[in-house]
Structure 1
Amino acid sequence: MTDQPRLLEGLDPQQRAAVTAPRGPVCVLAGAGTGKTRTITHRIAWLVRRGLVVPQQVLAVTFTARAAGEMRTRLRGLGADGVQAQTFHAAAFRQLRYFWPRVVGDELWPLTEQKFRLVTQAAGRLRMSTDQDSVRDLATEIEWAKAALLTPERYPAATAVQGRECPVPPERFAAVFETYEKIKNSARVLDFDDLLLHIAAILEENTEVAEQFRAQYRSFVVDEYQDVTPLQQRVLDAWLGQRDDLTVVGDANQTIYSFAGASPHWLTDFPRRYPHTEVIKLERDYRSTPQVVTLANRVIGAAERKPGDGDSGGDAADTGLTLVGQLPDGPEPEFAAHDDEVEEARGVARRIARLAGNGVPFSEMVVLYRVNAQSELYEQTLAEAGIPYQVRGGERFFARTEVRQAMTALRTAANRGRAGQGELPGLVREVLSEVGLTERAPSGGAALERWQSLNALAELADELAGQVERADLTRYVAELDARASAQHPPTVEGVTLASLHAAKGLEWDTVFLVGLVEGTLPIQHADGAEAVEEERRLLYVGVTRARQRIRLSWAASRGQGGGRKRRRSRFLRELDPSETPAATAKSKRRERSGGSRRVPQAHCRICSAPLNVGADVKLGRCSDCPSDADQELLSKLRGWRTERARQLRVPAYVVFSDVTLLAIAEQRPDDSESLSRISGVGETKLERFGPDVLELVNGTNPGGR
């Protein structure tokens, strides 16, 4: 009981009201950056500390393993060990493992790892296309149908009412769906959505099992409630029965998963379903500067129709949130127009380089885009600028070979009694040195990537030692296991590249929102007002990821030298202060007069043929024309690159690519102007590496090294 006041320290009045609300239906409308996770965990700990519920009787669910892992970590720190914090699917899987043998009389069927193959078999039996894209579309549609609680029989009529586009005619899809289910059941395997369907059915149809479950779990918390699907809501209803000890937390302004079946109406209608609901709004934004907060409010404030408005009824109508910034002032948002996408990417790279030069860590910067295909240009441009990066959604950190080897070595060391031998950071580095961690980073390539992974594990030991008194190797290994289970990796230095959907729930000091043109945001296939407003909410999510700085950019054409045919996103028209009538008229006059900058067609310097392939443009010659590279110079350039990459602790290719080095060795530029004309030598690299390269070309050893 003595810890109760401590749980309320540092909370604002609205957070405190949410934490101390009595058991029963509670709806917390939590805007971006308002301390949602802190409020949820403190509420659970408050209920436990007051003796209103025992930890083992609380089930908290959220939508990602990472978020669930973070919640468990915080609850442990608040003295609420034993609370189950999991995703919907993980909770259902755990419950099925326990109840399935009792209800079905058999061992639980395993989760299939071959869903794509099963869908391919179903399509093949019906003599439909089995190419990769077609099968992927069918698999995605099966997931949506299950999330929407649609059977194959009900699918055609339901999609006709909703006006939903199907990857194939609805009747054909229903046949694929039915065949897929038969193949899967014959193989006695489950897919991910079956976990929810089966646990709901067991609880609905077996009174004894339902009573046992509800005797175990008495209090429920649901995070990100605006993202629940009809299937997840069915599971939640089955968990609850006729009870109402439920806290839901969400923000209708961040509903961005309608394509997966999510709907905010469960959140907006919550007070109507539970008339005695206590509704609490969290609107104080502790994440972002007032300038970023103002921009976010303007983005969402221009919505034609907010989710939940309209036909929900009086009790559910007041779900809108207006953020109020709590931090000191920061820089104004930047808006940048570019002639083409290449120049847009280079502009982002130059801005990143300047910020890094002023002390902003690369890991605190992110480039956000609407579709994953946009990442390739930024990967190439950042590499050419010597800027390290990581693509969110690529290979998972804990799946990397070196990380698995390191965790095995650390676990073995802990089991062999080395846990108490010295300070944790030093001991971890000693063990990691046995699997490849060195004091200095290697020169580049795969070796550097491996080193960075191991170094991130070492730095996590530093972090844990600073947070947990007397933390030892056993405690550290447990932390690694928990993070691996939750897919919560340590920070690896580098600019993050991510889609707007993948950025949900994360934050950075600096955010670059790129490619903001019609057809990309909103996406071209966003038909109808509701689809367009979801695209607006995606932009809102992107803006609210920024703590201090935000830059929004767009390009008038896709390729270099293309016509200025693209229009910037409609969402920016009321946001950019430069979008005045005079500026708009001037821009249109420039377009009509053909005033856009065009890049001249490149030609081979040997045979004069036009060059269209990127590598050929870089080399300045056709791939069929012979190379006249100075091999001695090329060898020196490669050696110099290796040393510079080692000093900068970046892969060698981010200094200069192999193609750029070959172009330098072939063309032998003798001054800055001629060096700058080689593709891959931008303004930043010219300033950073130009003197060294020119000394090498002119036959000297740069810098006396």
Structure 2
Amino acid sequence: MDPDRVLEGLDPEQLEAARALRGPVCILAGAGTGKTRAITHRIAHAVASGVVAEQQVLAVTFTTRAAGEMRGRLRALGAPRVQARTFHAAALRQLSFFWPQAVGGPQPTLIDSKIQVVARAAHGCGVDADRTGLRDLASEIEWAKVTQIRPADYEKAVAKAGRTPPMQAGEVARVFEGYEEIRRERNLLDFESMLELTAAMLLERPEIAERVRSQYRYFVVDEFQDVNPLQKLLLDAWLGDRDDLCVVGDPSQTIYSFAGATPAYLTRFADAYPHATVVRLVRDYRSTPQVVRVANEVLRRARPAAGGAEAGLELVAQRPDGPDPSYTEYDDEPAEATSVARRIAALIETGTPAREIAVLFRTNSQSAAYEQALADAGIPFTVRGATRFFERPEIKQAVHTLRGARQGGGSDPIVGTVRHLLAPLGLTATAPEGRQARERWESLAALAQLADDIAVERHRGECGLGAAGAADRPQNAPLGGNCACGRPYTATLDDFAEELDARVATEHAPEMEGVTLASLHAAKGLEWDAVFLVGLTEGMMPIIYAETDEQVEEERRLFYVGVTRAREYLSASWSLARSPGGRKTRKPSRFLDGLRPASPSLAAGRRERSRSAKTVRCRICGNTLTEAAERKLARCLTCPADYDEELLERLREWRKATAAAQKVPAYVVFTDATLQAVAEHVPSSTAQLSRISGVGAVKLERYGEAVLALCAGEEPPAPDGVGEPDDEQ
């Protein structure tokens, strides 16, 4: 490839980074400034210019998703053989290859989770810990290992660091020591030991180090602000006395200090390499000027922090104007969740795809209210951080089926064939009823969508219409056999199997359809058209455990990460009480100071919402109801309830037929909780039916006659195919 063509389309700062081909290079890249574009074009330019062979490049990042994206871009730039891996994947590959030579004997078993081993160690030490306590102990052991602290030194180290351990430091040290003993006795390898052993192998065996260093001569490290001391040790072992190292990162996105990461390696890079080239990327191509202003204001109010993390980059927006961010205060959590779901429904109605919307929160415990609110509104969603895609039973079964089909028909086209093969596993034309069945269907649909996307990608070189045709069709809609140009899509099962093998090996999952629910930590590295930041109260943002100035500033950076995930729509909200009728003692997050409007307008809005929000009490015991499902039923889930089981079954059968006629998932018509409420209340009029939560004006108009007929024991009118209903409650 022509080296100059690789540089086409880069802005001046990206171009400066891409042309800095040799020696140490530090790219300080703000959120949305095209850092991946800069480093992949730099690598491709180095390869095209003959500076380095592509097999000699090792690009290291922190997530399999980022590594997969980097490989895809490099492949498109003509450098498909560049190795882009996570630290752990690269270390495991080298350690496994050299194990017979460096250590000998049976290779250790890699453990994904420390919990079981920690539990045995705790029991052996007489330390009593529940599952939550065991998770905290495992996290503390990880921190100690990545910061190179041994069990004997743990108590002194934790005191020096000012760290608050999950239990008495002496008990943690004993469990830590017991954990390491069990791990060695059973020949187990955790992720930290993997990095440590790989570094030790390179440092202690010169002949092995020489082979690795002759293989990899050109290093790029993404998200360098997240590097911990153990990863830095391994990186230094890879480098030896060389300096062909390019690092890229943003000190303002340092959010893993609690796990041992430090931005000092990034902010002090020029001190370590005085002759380094330093490039700053500040042109934000992701977010509108309105979102960028919020992001800059968040950093402007930051206090100086240790390790240079205060060196924030002021972003310069490149996109056209968009809507102003919204700041909304609610009386209680259920009101906040319900309102967010309604606003999401409005966005989807006006054309924003569900997959381009995210609800982000500080802790995973906040997810449940939004899962229920979105389900009640008939909005599909995915929870990020759940079981990894390729570990799901239905996906394992699907991959096995597809690999088997390849043996007898590897040249068969994937368009149509993949969906046909997945149909017996549960990939129907529409989503089935039930949460578990729906999640299984969505996983299979994502796999089928991936096959269609690969077909389009392979066709891209033959015509310019393939990509557009794929982008225009609805998510999960089958792809026709021919492109709009008239030519057939030619990708085969062999092509798909090859891509699947690569994705399974690197855990590079396809995108799932639906609104994303995720913690702020899990959202890092992602972006959406619309982002709802929820639960922004003191004690949650910053979290109550953030006591020192450094800890509070890390929480501010986490908030900054949340803000910069939004391309166009940004919503910030908080509630004054946990439950309806509760004491309104919560305060909005201090990070909103200077961002949100003055309090009078908020107070007016709150009074309006207060009039519409009702305290719902259990019709059986009289207690105030806080959970969405309980409020829908007007009773505690634990309180006994009489209902017509035959009516409930008729309602379910009617819903199934209606969903099939309209080609929508059953929960879009009515959720299980809404049908249960109808069966318990047995409404006899439109007014009574409208008072049931989940039956809004549109659904009342569309389905009211049929539901009331069923409640009266009559035959409902035949369902029609009117398409997906709105949800207005």
Which residue matches 1:279? 278
SS of equivalent to 2:518 = strand
Q: 2 CA distance for matches of 1:357 and 1:375?
A: 23
Aligned residue runs from structure 1 range 297-696, under 5 A: 297-305=296-304, 308-309=307-308, 319-416=311-408, 418-421=409-412, 423-443=413-433, 445-469=435-459, 470-576=490-596, 578-579=597-598, 599-600=614-615, 602-604=617-619, 610=623, 618-620=632-634, 629-631=643-645, 633-646=647-660, 651-653=665-667, 655-681=669-695, 686=700, 689-690=703-704, 692-696=706-710
SS of equivalent to 1:178 = helix
Go from structure 1 to structure 2 and tell me whether the alpha carbon gap of 1:386 and 1:212 turns closer, same or farther (over 3 Å shift): same
Give the Å deviation of 1:436.
4.1
| Residue 179 (str. 1) matches residue 169 (str. 2) | no
Moved more, 433-442 or 130-139: 433-442
Q: 1 CA distance for matches of 2:638 and 2:366?
A: 30
Measured against aligned partners, the alpha-carbon deviations of 1:32-55 in whole angstroms (never above 9, x if no partner) come to: 111111211111111111111111
Give the Å deviation of 1:699.
5.7
- AA of the residue aligned to 2:107: L
Aligned residue runs from structure 1 range 107-146, under 5 A: 107-112=106-111, 115-146=114-145
Give the Å deviation of 1:393.
1.1
Q: Percent identity?
A: 54
Moved more, 466-475 or 542-551: 466-475
Q: 2 CA distance for matches of 1:598 and 1:405?
A: 46
Q: 2 CA distance for matches of 1:157 and 1:626?
A: 55
Measured against aligned partners, the alpha-carbon deviations of 1:53-92 in whole angstroms (never above 9, x if no partner) come to: 1112111111011211221222222221222211111111
Q: 1 CA distance for matches of 2:113 and 2:282?
A: 44
SS of equivalent to 2:189 = coil
Any stretches of 5+ residues in structure 2 without a counterpart? Answer: 460-489, 720-729
Give the Å deviation of 1:632.
5.0
Measured against aligned partners, the alpha-carbon deviations of 1:515-559 in whole angstroms (never above 9, x if no partner) come to: 000000000010111111111111111111111111111001011
Aligned residue runs from structure 1 range 210-225, under 5 A: 210-225=209-224
Q: 2 CA distance for matches of 1:238 and 1:130?
A: 38
Moved more, 241-250 or 197-206: 197-206
**Count of equivalent residues:** 687
SS of equivalent to 1:663 = helix
Which residue matches 1:88? 87
Give the Å deviation of 1:407.
1.8
Go from structure 1 to structure 2 and tell me whether the alpha carbon gap of 1:653 and 1:466 turns closer, same or farther (over 3 Å shift): closer
Q: 2 CA distance for matches of 1:414 and 1:483?
A: 17
Q: 2 CA distance for matches of 1:696 and 1:440?
A: 24
Give yes or no for contact 2:263–2:308 (8 Å, CA) kept in 1. no
- AA of the residue aligned to 2:251: A
- AA of the residue aligned to 2:123: G
SS of equivalent to 2:382 = strand
Go from structure 1 to structure 2 and tell me whether the alpha carbon gap of 1:609 and 1:5 turns closer, same or farther (over 3 Å shift): closer
Give the Å deviation of 1:266.
0.5
Go from structure 1 to structure 2 and tell me whether the alpha carbon gap of 1:665 and 1:181 turns closer, same or farther (over 3 Å shift): closer
Measured against aligned partners, the alpha-carbon deviations of 1:300-349 in whole angstroms (never above 9, x if no partner) come to: 22111256439xxxxxx9x4311111112111111111100000000001
Any stretches of 5+ residues in structure 1 without a counterpart? Answer: 311-316
TM-score using structure 1 length: 0.91
Which residue matches 2:70? 71
- AA of the residue aligned to 1:482: A
Give the Å deviation of 1:649.
5.6
Give the Å deviation of 1:514.
0.4
Give yes or no for contact 1:63–1:88 (8 Å, CA) kept in 2. yes
Measured against aligned partners, the alpha-carbon deviations of 1:482-525 in whole angstroms (never above 9, x if no partner) come to: 22223222222211110000011111111111000000000001
Which residue matches 1:155? 154
Q: 2 CA distance for matches of 1:553 and 1:659?
A: 26
Aligned residue runs from structure 1 range 90-109, under 5 A: 90-109=89-108
Q: 2 CA distance for matches of 1:625 and 1:540?
A: 43
Give the Å deviation of 1:686.
5.0
Which residue matches 1:239? 238
Q: 1 CA distance for matches of 2:306 and 2:30?
A: 14
Give yes or no for contact 1:252–1:307 (8 Å, CA) kept in 2. no
Cα RMSD (Å):
2.7
SS of equivalent to 1:501 = helix
Give the Å deviation of 1:695.
4.8
Which residue matches 1:314? none
Give the Å deviation of 1:704.
3.6
Give yes or no for contact 2:579–2:625 (8 Å, CA) kept in 1. no
Give yes or no for contact 2:615–2:624 (8 Å, CA) kept in 1. no
Moved more, 260-269 or 653-662: 653-662
- AA of the residue aligned to 1:459: Q
Give yes or no for contact 1:288–1:327 (8 Å, CA) kept in 2. yes
TM-score using structure 2 length: 0.88
Q: 1 CA distance for matches of 2:165 and 2:558?
A: 23
Measured against aligned partners, the alpha-carbon deviations of 1:657-691 in whole angstroms (never above 9, x if no partner) come to: 44432332232324444334334446775566545
Q: 2 CA distance for matches of 1:434 and 1:626?
A: 40
Give the Å deviation of 1:624.
8.9
- AA of the residue aligned to 1:484: V
Q: 2 CA distance for matches of 1:622 and 1:505?
A: 40
Moved more, 659-668 or 537-546: 659-668
Q: 1 CA distance for matches of 2:637 and 2:110?
A: 49
Go from structure 1 to structure 2 and tell me whether the alpha carbon gap of 1:656 and 1:506 turns closer, same or farther (over 3 Å shift): same
Go from structure 1 to structure 2 and tell me whether the alpha carbon gap of 1:445 and 1:127 turns closer, same or farther (over 3 Å shift): closer
- AA of the residue aligned to 1:656: F
SS of equivalent to 1:468 = helix
SS of equivalent to 2:559 = helix
Give the Å deviation of 1:174.
1.7
Q: 2 CA distance for matches of 1:220 and 1:205?
A: 21
Q: 2 CA distance for matches of 1:478 and 1:263?
A: 38
Measured against aligned partners, the alpha-carbon deviations of 1:429-470 in whole angstroms (never above 9, x if no partner) come to: 333335443444445554443333322222222211221134
Go from structure 1 to structure 2 and tell me whether the alpha carbon gap of 1:113 and 1:237 turns closer, same or farther (over 3 Å shift): closer
- AA of the residue aligned to 1:492: M
Give yes or no for contact 1:383–1:655 (8 Å, CA) kept in 2. no
Q: 2 CA distance for matches of 1:17 and 1:570?
A: 39
Give yes or no for contact 2:296–2:315 (8 Å, CA) kept in 1. yes
Go from structure 1 to structure 2 and tell me whether the alpha carbon gap of 1:684 and 1:567 turns closer, same or farther (over 3 Å shift): farther
SS of equivalent to 1:550 = strand
- AA of the residue aligned to 2:507: Q
Give yes or no for contact 1:611–1:621 (8 Å, CA) kept in 2. no
SS of equivalent to 2:402 = helix
SS of equivalent to 2:26 = strand
Go from structure 1 to structure 2 and tell me whether the alpha carbon gap of 1:47 and 1:420 turns closer, same or farther (over 3 Å shift): same
